Structure 1
Amino acid sequence: SAAVAFMSYSTMENLLKPDFFNTSNDTVKTMMSTVISATLPKTNNTKLTKPVNFTFRHIREFDPNGSLSCVYWNISEWIVDGCSLLKTNSSYTVCSCVHLSTFALIMQTSRPPESSQLLDLLNLVCVIVGLVFFSLALLTFALCQWSPGVNNVARINICISLLLAHLLFLLTQQFLSVIRHKQVLCAVISGLLHFFFLSGFVWMFIEAVMLFICVKNLSQINSKKREVLSSGFLCVIGYVVALVVVCVSVGLVPEGYGSER
C-alpha cells in the first residue's frame, strides 16, 4: 500500500497560465479548473501501472464549441502526453493520466475575427469627432453664462467625464497591442472607463434634477439652493457615487476588469 498526497492551488493559474499550453492552432486558451498536484511521498517514481482518474470542476463557463484538454505541467509548459479526456459535461470533466504530476484542464476556443481596417478607421474618425464636439461644449458651458441663476456645473462635468472616457478609449485602441498583455494596466484602464462613463450618467441625472427645479421653481428648494445644490456638494455626488459603484464592482467581480478578452 502507498499514500498519495493531493494538493489544490486556487491561484496557481496566475503563474502557470494557460498560454503556456503550446499548440499548432492559434486559439484562445482558458483555464477551466484549479491546478492540482498528485504525488507519492518518499518516492521519485511518478509512473503508474494503471491510469488514475481525476474529476475537475469547471471554474468558468463552459463553451460547447470549445475543445478541452487534460494537461500536466512539464518544466515550463503544459503538455498532454499520457493524459486523456474520458467524459465531460457543462460542470465537470473526468481526465485519465498514466502518471502523477501537476494537472489542469484547459479549454481552447477559436479567436474572434479581426476587425476590418475600414471599421477601425470609421471608429477612429467618430471618436475624434466626438472629442472635438465635447471640447467645444465644455468651452461653451465654462465660458458662457447666460443667467446668474443657471448652474452649469452638471453640464460641464458631463462633458469632462465623457471627454476623458472617449480620450482614454481612443488611446487604448491605438496602443492595444502594447497593453493587452499587461493585465494590471488593462484592469486599471477598465476601471477608469467604467468610472468615467458611470459618472457621466450620474451627472446626467443631476442635470435632470436641476432642470426640474428650474422649471418648477420650487420655493422650498430654491430658498436653500446655495446650501443643498452648491457646486462642491454636486461634485461629491457626481463622482463619489460613481467611485463607490466601481469599487463595489471590483470587489465583487475582480475578474471582470482586465481579463484576457
Structure 2
Amino acid sequence: MTSSLGDQKELASYVIKASEKLVSMLLTPTNTYDNISFTIESLETQIFMVGPNATLDKIPQLITRHALMDIDLIGIAKNNYKKGSVAFMSYTTMEDLLKPDFFNTSDDTVKTMMSTVISATLPQTTNTTLTKPVNFTLKHIREFVSGGNLSCVYWNISEWIVDGCSVVKTNSSFTVCSCLHLSTFALIMQTSRISTKDDDQLVNLLNLVFVIVGLVFTSLALLTFAFCRWKPGVNNVARINLCISLLSAHLLFLLTQQFLDLIKPHKELCAVISGVLHFFFLSYFVWMFIEAVLLFICVKNLSQISSRWRAMLSSRFLIVIGYVIPFIIVRVSVGLLSEGYGSEQCWIKVERGFIWSFLGPVCFIIAINTILFISIIISLHLTLKKLNTEVSHMRQTKITVFKTLAQFVIFGCPWILGPFIDSKVVKILFLILNSQQGTFIFLVYCVLNNEVRQQYVKWLRNLFSGLKPRTIKRGSNNTAD
C-alpha cells in the first residue's frame, strides 16, 4: 500500500528522533576524551566526547562510509564547562522517505539525491551554539550530471531548505558543505526538465489527436447502430452501450484535461468529475467484458443454451449489469473513503490504496477478457483448419482473422501494457491502441458488415442524387403579342 506524503514525513521524523535518543543513551562521562562508533541496519554512527581534562586542540574528523564532518567541539566544550559531545549519523535508506522532491524551488527542475541523508547533534550539551561553521564532506552516491546545480540542504519539519548552508567545494566525486547549525542534511542536485517537457508535450499531443480520432469513429459507430437496419437475430445492445460508455469516458476525460487549470481550484467539482470518470470507465470495462462473453458464446456455437441463461443474456439484464455494477463500486468507494477523489489531475488518488477501487475491477476484467480472447483464437484456428482453400473461402477467412485480431483491442486487452508505460514507445503504443477501440468497433461491426456496407452505398447514392442540379423545363409562351 502506498503511504501518503504526510505519513512518510512522520515516519522519517520518528526514525531521526529515535536515533538521536539512542545515541544520547550511549554517552558515558569522561575526563579526557572518548569515542564510540557502531553500525546497524540502515544507520552508521560516530560519537565523540570530550571532558574537562581533554588536551586536544581539535577533535579528529568524524567519518562514515559516505560522509565526514569537521566540527569545533573543543570550542563548544569551553562554553559548557569544558564538556561536550557530538554525534554524527548517516542514514543509508532515508532518501526513500525524505525524498528530494520535498525540496521546493521556484524552478521546475528534476531533483536527485546526491548523498546519503546525515544528521549531526550535540547530545547532553546545554549550550549548543556553534563557535564556527560545521563542514560536511558528502560523497556522491550517483553520477554528477554536467550542468546540474548542487544544493546543501537541511530538513525543516516538512521540507528541504538551504538556509544557513552553502556549497564550499565540489568535484565529480564529493561536495563540501558548510552550515551554521546542526540538523539533518543532504545534498540535492537539480537538472533541467526541458527534455522531459518535450517528451510530455509530444505524448500529450499524440494523446489528444488519437483520442479525438477515436471519438469521431465511436460516434460514427453509434449512428450506424442507431439508424441501420439489422437482421432480427443481431443484438447490438452491448456494442451500443460500450460505445456510449467509451464516448462518455474519453470525452469527459479529454475536456477535463484541457480545462484542468480552471477546474483544479474548485476541489468539490474536481472530486465530482473524478467520481463520474470512475463510473464511466468502470462501465466501459464491464461492457467490454459483456461483449467478450457474447462473442465467446457466438464462436462456440452455444445456441442450445438453457432458457435461464437466455433470460440472463436479455437486453434488460445486460443493461442492469453494465451500469449497476459500476455504480455499486463507486458508491462503496465513496462510502469507504470519500476524500479519495479529486487528485491533481482530477482523478482517483493513490493514497491509502484507493486507486485499487479502479485497478482491481479493471485487472480482473482484463484477465478474463484475455482468457476469452485466447479461447476464441483457438476455436477459430480449429474451425479454419476444416475449411477448403477456395478463393472465396480464403477471402472470408482473412476478414474473419482481422475481425478476431481486432477484438484484442475491442476487449481492452492492450491495457495489459499499463505496467510497462515507463518506456516512451510502450506509452505511445498504449495510448494509440486504447484510444482506438471505437475505431475498431466501427471497422469490424460496420465497415466489414456486408448489409451495413450496402446501406452506406444506398445512403450515399441518395445523398448525391439529391445534390444534382435540377433541369428547368421551359414552357411555351401563350401570351399574345
TM-score computed with the length of structure 2 as normaliser? 0.35
- Specify the code of the residue in structure 1 equivalent to 2:359: V
Does residue 120 of structure 2 align to residue 38 of structure 1? yes
Do the aligned residues in 1 keep the contact of 2:110 with 2:193 (CA within 8 Å)? no
Aligned counterpart, 2:104: 19
Aligned counterpart, 1:171: 255
Aligned counterpart, 1:110: 192
Separation in 1 of the partners of 2:231 and 2:311? 16
1:157 Cα shift? 3.4
1:81 Cα shift? 0.8
Does residue 388 of structure 2 align to residue 246 of structure 1? no
1:181 Cα shift? 9.9
1:210 Cα shift? 0.9
Question: CA 1:136–1:73 in structure 2 vs 1: closer, same or farther (change >3 Å)?
Answer: same
Alignment of 1:4-153 (within 5 A): 4=87, 13=99, 17-20=102-105, 26-30=107-111, 32=113, 37-41=119-123, 42-46=126-130, 51-53=135-137, 67=148, 69-73=150-154, 78-79=161-162, 81-82=166-167, 96-99=176-179, 100-112=182-194, 127-128=211-212, 130-135=214-219, 137-138=221-222, 141=225, 146=230, 150-153=234-237
Q: Kindly, what percent of the aligned residue pairs are identical?
A: 49
Separation in 1 of the partners of 2:86 and 2:99? 26
Single out whichever of 151-160 and 27-36 deviates more from structure 2: 27-36
1:155 Cα shift? 1.5
Do the aligned residues in 2 keep the contact of 1:141 with 1:152 (CA within 8 Å)? yes
Separation in 2 of the partners of 1:238 and 1:221? 27
Q: Secondary structure at the match of 1:218?
A: coil
Aligned counterpart, 1:259: none
Q: Secondary structure at the match of 1:160?
A: helix
Do the aligned residues in 1 keep the contact of 2:153 with 2:188 (CA within 8 Å)? no
1:187 Cα shift? 10
Match of 2:287 among 203, 224, 237: 203
1:218 Cα shift? 0.7
1:145 Cα shift? 8.2
Q: Secondary structure at the match of 1:4?
A: strand
Separation in 2 of the partners of 1:47 and 1:186? 53
1:140 Cα shift? 5.4
TM-score computed with the length of structure 1 as normaliser? 0.55
Does residue 225 of structure 2 align to residue 225 of structure 1? no
Q: Secondary structure at the match of 2:194?
A: coil
Do the aligned residues in 2 keep the contact of 1:18 with 1:29 (CA within 8 Å)? no
1:149 Cα shift? 5.0
Unaligned runs of at least 5 residues, structure 2: 1-48, 50-84, 330-354, 363-418, 423-481
Aligned residues: 237
Aligned counterpart, 1:161: 245
Flag the structure with more relative contact order, 1 or 2, with Cα contacts below 8 A and sequence separation at least 6.
1
Does residue 298 of structure 2 align to residue 214 of structure 1? yes
Separation in 2 of the partners of 1:188 and 1:166? 16
Do the aligned residues in 2 keep the contact of 1:53 with 1:96 (CA within 8 Å)? yes
Single out whichever of 124-133 and 212-221 deviates more from structure 2: 124-133
Q: Which has the higher strand share?
A: 1
Question: CA 1:108–1:101 in structure 2 vs 1: closer, same or farther (change >3 Å)?
Answer: same
How much is the aligned-residue C-alpha RMSD, in angstroms? Answer: 5.6
- Specify the code of the residue in structure 2 equivalent to 1:209: V
Unaligned runs of at least 5 residues, structure 1: 89-93, 257-261
Q: Which has the higher helix share?
A: 2
Question: CA 1:189–1:143 in structure 2 vs 1: closer, same or farther (change >3 Å)?
Answer: same
- Specify the code of the residue in structure 2 equivalent to 1:71: C
Q: Secondary structure at the match of 2:104?
A: helix
1:129-177 CA distance string (max 9 Å, x none): 5435434544654687846654434323322332233223422442355
